[in-house]
Amino acid sequence: MSVETITTISPVTNKPILTRNGLSDADITSIPETAARAFEAYRRTTLSDRQAIVKKALKLLDERQDALGKELTEQMGRPISYTPKEITTAVARGEYMLKISEEALKATEGEAEKGFKRYIKKVPVGPVLILFPWNYPYLTLVNSLIPALLAGNSVILKPSPQTPTSAEQIKQIFADAGLPEGVLQIFHSGSITQIEAIARSPQIQLVCFTGSVANGLAIQTAASDRVPIRVGLELGGKDPAYVRSDVDIKWAAEEIVDGAVFNSGQSCCSVERVYVDEKIHDEFVSALQDVLKGYKLGDPMEKDTHVGPVVSSRSADSIRAHIKEALKKGAKDATPDNESFKSPPADGNYVAPTLLINVDHSMAVMTEETFGPVIPVMKVKNDAEAIKLMNDSQFGLTASIWTKDTNKGHELVEDVEAGTVFVNRCDYPAPDLAWVGWKDSGKGQTLSRFGFDQFVKLKSYHVKDYPK
């Protein structure tokens, strides 16, 4: 069988910018076997040795942030003013996981019993396959890579074809940091069949996947006939925000626009639907319009650009289809006049930030993941209606409530069906809190001390003193 050629298309120009070779049949067998051999040696290293390697790698990653940020802008289109920040945030996240690793991975003592040493040890699971996306490749990768390596596992990385150099850069950084050969491997593939074949390999003990629900289900199915293998899934979101009538309207509007439009709305935890108390609806929409007037859509290489292109022409078509369907069903386009929204660069996949009102749950823009810079706003009568609508979704990644009455906000989020709930904040995975999806948003968890759990298995020890 011929080896696949994988081409990266620039979202800025819609022209090819990179090519990579896919897997051969031999690779599908040899990569997991190499990971298994490397694991046998690496699992015997000390945690302090692994910590030293990770610490050095994070330092090197931080030092290379400008070059890596420029690559991200070229490959996935986020404005150059923001891409280096992904690297620094990834480093900070990794440093937190490094800081807590000794406590997170320590053994648990059993009940004291004379003549016995009894404890539960956390041991690495074995070779780990990490499949990570293009929208935040470094951030999503460190969620799994850092605890996997600190726990003593070997790792195989598969990046998105849109951002292939992210895996290559990480592999080189860890090699420069002293990670033994074979412990971290990468491969490129655009074939779900090949990825499923790697996941089915008997050597693979855990698959961590971040991406669409459909592909997550395919990976889970591929691994379902093997008892030992675990699958962690971080999938889609349709994250709601509820704005109560007591809120500081101007401030909340600024925060929600940022939460909805940053990275062109291409985040699993971006704000995708907004419910506003009917008493302040019109004033809040006006405030959103004022914020959007200050945004610039344009060339991501220009430092004053806020919003670049979306990742592909297919993605742009899908976003526009959501907007068109909503308008056809009675929604109104309330996007303010903004010259940059009307005249973006000609060749790229530019979708202007779009503010929609008069929306409801008969529209895809309120129920299906849009993954674009669209802000649909719906009136609600009260808290109860807002919570009911927030929960009316197949997804449950994050949700936010905006109010001056933080005690009431705290009370209301108790009834919100999501893995992470915010009061007066949004779009922020905190490294000390577990990142977990409910419903179709996924299973398993990353970040916090619980983020180490899927990378270890428990081994109980009963050691009895030899009778004298």
**Domain boundaries of the chain, sorted by first residue:** 5-235+441-463, 239-423
pTM over the 0.95 mark: yes
308 within 8 A of 349, measured Cβ to Cβ: no
What pLDDT sits at residue 468?
Answer: 81
pLDDT given at position 2: 81
Report whether pLDDT(426) > 70: yes
- The amino acid sitting at 8 is T
Q: Name the active-site residue from 234, 255, 272, 369.
A: 234
Average pLDDT value for residue range 459-468: 94
Identify the band that residue 1 occupies on the pLDDT scale cut at 50, 70 and 90. low
Q: How much is the pLDDT for 149? A: 99
pLDDT tens for residues 274-325?
Answer: 999 999 999 999 999 999 999 999 999 999 999 999 999 999 999 999 999 9
Percent of the chain with pLDDT over 90: 99
Tokens matching residue 206: 């855990």
| Average pLDDT for the chain | 97
Q: State the pairing for strand pair 116-124/456-464.
A: antiparallel
CATH match of 239-423 with 3.40.309.10: yes
pLDDT at site 115: 94
Q: What would the pLDDT profile of 234-278 be if each residue is shown by its tens digit?
A: 999 999 999 999 999 999 999 999 999 999 999 999 999 999 999
User: Across-strand partners of 420?
Assistant: 398
User: What per-residue confidence (pLDDT) applies to 131?
Assistant: 98
Type and span of the H or E element at 459: strand 456-464
At residue 461, does pLDDT exceed 80? yes
| C-alpha to C-alpha distance for 351 and 260, rounded to whole angstroms | 13
Buried b (16+ CB within 10 A) or exposed e, 196-225: bbbbbbebbbbbbbbbebebbebbbebbee
Q: Say how far apart CA 181 and CA 138 lie, in whole Å.
A: 21
Q: What is the mean pLDDT of residues 83-106?
A: 98
Residue whose entry in the numeric block shows the structure tokens 């802000």: 375
Indicate whether 446 pLDDT > 60. Answer: yes
Q: Give the pLDDT confidence of 369-400 residue by residue, as tens digits.
A: 999 999 999 999 999 999 999 999 999 999 99
Mean pLDDT of 347-367: 98
Verify whether residue 103 is a known catalytic residue: no
User: Does 202 have pLDDT greater than 60?
Assistant: yes
Q: Which pLDDT score, from 0 to 100, does residue 111 have? A: 96
Mean pLDDT of 355-362: 98
Residue 147 makes CB contacts below 8 A (sequence gap 6+) with 97, 101, 104, 446, 451, 452, 455
Map residue 286 onto helix, strand or coil.
helix
Q: What is the mean pLDDT of residues 116-125?
A: 97
pLDDT tens for each residue of 217-232: 999 999 988 999 999 9
How many angstroms separate the most distant Cα atoms in the chain? 89
Confidence of residue 467 (pLDDT cuts 50, 70, 90): confident
Query: What length is written for the chain?
Result: 468
CATH architecture of 5-235+441-463: 3-Layer(aba) Sandwich (3.40)
| Helices vs. strands in the chain: H and E counts, helices first | 15, 22
Mean pLDDT of 407-429: 97
Residues 6+ apart with CB under 8 A from 63: none
The beta strands (E) that lie in 199-260 are given as 206-210, 230-234, 239-243
Q: What is the pLDDT of residue 326?
A: 98
Q: Check pLDDT > 60 for residue 19.
A: yes
DSSP 450: G
Using a pLDDT cut of 70, give the percent of the chain over it.
100
